[in-house]
Amino acid sequence: RLINSETVKEINKKISNISREQFYKKYNPSEMVKLGIYPNIWERDGDESFEYIWENFETLKQFVGNCSNHDVGMALYLT
């Protein structure tokens, strides 16, 4: 999926200010397991699973922010 630069800017506006506390309030390991969200560690690994997803979300925010700042789109590839 290709995401144009305008949409990248919109995504950046929505995710750039999400704090760790806000993210944690929405984090639901049981629901993630129920939905089969990879890598199915959510209940098994306790707090480590939150750290894993938070670190990856922070990386995503940086990437989207860089794309937005440089006025470029993104390519999304899911396997």
- Can you give the pLDDT at residue 71? 98
Cβ-contact 16, 69 below 8 angstroms: no
pLDDT in tens, 3-62: 999 999 999 999 999 999 999 999 999 999 999 999 989 999 988 999 999 999 999 999
Q: Enter the pTM of the model.
A: 0.87
Rounded CA-CA distance 29/33 in Å is 6
Task: Write out the chain in H/E/C secondary structure.
Answer: CEECHHHHHHHHHHHCCCCHHHHHHHCCHHHHHHCCCCCCCCCCCCHHHHHHHHHHHHHHHHHHHHHHHCCCCEECCCC
Opening angle at CA 27, ends 3 and 46, nearest 5: 125
